């Protein structure tokens, strides 16, 4: 039995899935100041129908890290970077405790200039004096040799509650992205780990002994244990759950439309998330998502979120009616104090639930204050929301078609992508079906069990992992950054050896965490081998292999 819990901006949903079918579901209001109560409240509803002993896996999608960054509730971070010549590290400054230090490593992992340990110590002392205990250490070519990052970590020692090392996030060479990723990882670390501690304790108190996993932005899951080290990877797990919810339910269809391009809309209480399936495969942000104004190495499904949802507040400002992006409360039909978009939908007859009379009064009072007729105000609000969603869809598709497009499996080229159908989910999904069909001029269809589709996606999402192996046969070294493995090899080491070692390292990672994995699930996505030439000819080979477990759902 699989359990999925999705912590959304308005509601937290939980489902239990057995043999691909939802056997129980629950929904509670999300309490932003106490997300744990929301998680356990939804879980309790599901456990009324499912025995804790039946649960074999629990997957959780959480907005915690994303919200902490957006709302400015992160910790200050002491960022210590060594870049070497040819680059100004101040161009990539994150936060006010930012310390470039002397020292450099070249692209082959050779030390060109040693760290100046006094500079590192001074930086650490300044942070500790200011009460900063979260740190990040990043050197330019740490994916080839992490020695400088590890030396900084040693210097910080007991002075830091966490030190995020840049080489542990990706083998990809991108110094600015690595700085931002390490910074955000430490910035949310304390908050996230407190939440993880509470979730694990709460789940165990409910009698569930099964593994707990966290949904990642790339449409896969990671064990709770690893998420404690890399909480930055939980950013944007909500939109990923939307996509995986559609994939999970399409997998149950008798004749899934695998060749069609499908637009996904998840209209929640606070936001609308937009995504696209190309021939049944999600698009990805190949290099990593941007968090705020900083590009990162966090791999993610390609999505867009806009501030329109069922609880988006209605207000009259500067002579115009506005819908969102603020959410002041739940809609009045659910006990809120201010009229929201869902109240307009109820007033106009597009939806009917909760306290219909409260919705009617709220719309009438706002209309009187605006000098409008209630029906006119409600219809205007609805059309404004539809127009905002339609415009965002158009911009998203235009963006997709103007840049190289990657799916979770391969790069696409040539044809212009034009979705032929729309799958819609979220609480207001039914109300928007006809409205958006007319606006988008594409058939719009609700996803089965649209109200808890995100939780279904979370429940059925499989683990993913990606690693890169670097070998230098002249130096006789192999390095796998994300697992911290570095060892000596023979000068006769080959590309075939590297492919085998990369696969075995990935398999070992899963085995040590008791995650089921077949060797056929491992895909080699990149393999390269180049001659290195010295004064008297070839001196060795530079080898790079990248492999991954592709995101997917249980079928």
In the prediction, which pLDDT does 332 show? 95
| 53 to 6, 23, 92: CA distances (angstroms) | 21, 15, 49
Share of the chain above pLDDT 90, in %: 59
> 152-156, 185-189, 482-486: which range is least confident on average?
482-486
pLDDT confidence tier of residue 254, bands split at 50, 70 and 90:
very low
- Summarize the confidence of residues 231-237 as an average pLDDT: 90
Choice between 234 and 534, residue whose per-residue pLDDT is larger: 234
- Summarize the confidence of residues 310-327 as an average pLDDT: 88
In the prediction, which pLDDT does 379 show? 95
The b-or-e profile of 241-269 (16+ CB within 10 A means b, else e) is: bbbbbbbbbbeeeeeeeeeebbbbbbbbb
In the chain, what are the domain boundaries? 2-68+191-248, 77-190, 253-456, 465-549
Among 230-244, 253-267, 393-407, the range with the most confident prediction by mean pLDDT is: 230-244
Give the class (CATH, top level) of 253-456: alpha beta
| 422 to 10, 276, 287, 433, 548: CA distances (angstroms) | 23, 9, 27, 9, 30
Looking at the structure, give the CATH architecture of the domain made up of residues 2-68+191-248.
2-Layer Sandwich (3.30)
**CA–CA separation, 93 vs 300, rounded Å?**
23
pLDDT above 70 for 367: yes
**CA–CA separation, 234 vs 211, rounded Å?**
17
Please tell me the pTM assigned to this model.
0.87
2-68+191-248 and 253-456, same CATH topology? yes
């Amino acid at each position: 039995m699989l359990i999925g819990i999705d912590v959304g901006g308005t509601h937290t949903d939980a489902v239990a899935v057995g043999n691909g079918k939802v056997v129980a579901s629950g929904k509670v209001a999300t309490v932003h100041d106490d997300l744990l109560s929301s998680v356990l409240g939804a879980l309790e509803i599901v456990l009324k129908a499912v025995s804790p002993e039946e649960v074999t896996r629990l997957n959780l999608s959480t907005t915690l890290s994303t919200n902490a960054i957006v709302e400015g509730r992160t910790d200050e971070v002491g960022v210590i970077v060594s870049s070497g010549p040819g680059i100004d590290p101040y161009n990539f400054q994150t936060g006010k405790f930012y310390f470039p230090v002397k020292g450099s490593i070249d692209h082959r992992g050779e030390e060109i200039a040693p760290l100046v340990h006094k500079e590192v110590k001074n930086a650490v002392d300044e942070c500790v004096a200011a009460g900063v205990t979260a740190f990040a250490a990043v050197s330019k070519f740490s994916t080839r040799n992490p020695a400088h990052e590890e030396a900084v970590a040693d210097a910080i020692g007991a002075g830091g509650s966490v030190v995020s090392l840049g080489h542990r996030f990706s083998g990809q060479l991108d110094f600015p992205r690595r700085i931002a990723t390490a910074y955000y990882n430490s910035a949310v670390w304390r908050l996230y780990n407190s939440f993880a501690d509470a979730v694990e304790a709460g789940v165990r108190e409910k009698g569930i002994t099964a593994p707990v996993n966290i949904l990642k932005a790339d449409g896969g899951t990671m064990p709770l244990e690893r998420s404690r080290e890399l909480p930055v990877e939980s950013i944007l797990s909500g939109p990923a759950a939307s996509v995986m919810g559609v994939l999970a339910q399409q997998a149950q269809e008798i004749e899934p439309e695998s060749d069609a391009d499908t637009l996904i809309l998840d209209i929640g209480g606070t936001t609308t998330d937009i995504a696209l399936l190309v021939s049944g495969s999600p698009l990805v942000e190949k290099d990593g998502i941007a968090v705020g104004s900083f590009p990162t190495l966090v791999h993610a499904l390609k999505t867009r979120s806009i501030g329109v949802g069922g609880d988006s507040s209605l207000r009259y400002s500067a002579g115009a009616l506005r819908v969102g992006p603020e959410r002041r409360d739940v809609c009045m039909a659910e006990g809120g104090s201010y009229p929201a978009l869902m109240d307009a939908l109820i007033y106009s007859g597009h939806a009917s639930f909760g306290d219909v009379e409260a919705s009617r009064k709220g719309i009438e009072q706002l209309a009187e204050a605006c000098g409008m007729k209630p029906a006119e105000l409600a219809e205007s609000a609805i059309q404004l929301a539809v127009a905002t969603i339609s415009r965002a869809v158009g911009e998203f598709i235009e963006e997709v078609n103007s840049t190289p497009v990657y799916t979770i499996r391969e790069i696409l080229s040539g044809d212009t992508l034009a979705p032929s159908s729309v799958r819609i989910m979220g609480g207001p999904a039914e109300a928007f079906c006809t409205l958006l069909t007319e606006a988008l001029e594409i058939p719009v269809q609700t996803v089965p069990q649209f109200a808890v589709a995100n939780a279904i996606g979370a429940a059925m999402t499989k683990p993913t992992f990606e690693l890169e192996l670097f070998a230098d046969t002249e130096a006789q070294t192999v390095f796998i950054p994300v697992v911290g493995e570095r060892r000596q090899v023979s000068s006769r080491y080959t590309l075939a050896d590297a492919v085998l070692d990369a696969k075995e390292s990935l398999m070992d990672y899963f085995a040590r965490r008791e995650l089921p994995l077949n060797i056929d699930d491992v895909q080699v996505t990149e393999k390269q081998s180049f001659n290195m030439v010295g004064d008297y000819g070839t001196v060795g080979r530079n080898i790079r292999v990248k492999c991954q477990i592709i995101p997917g759902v249980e079928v």
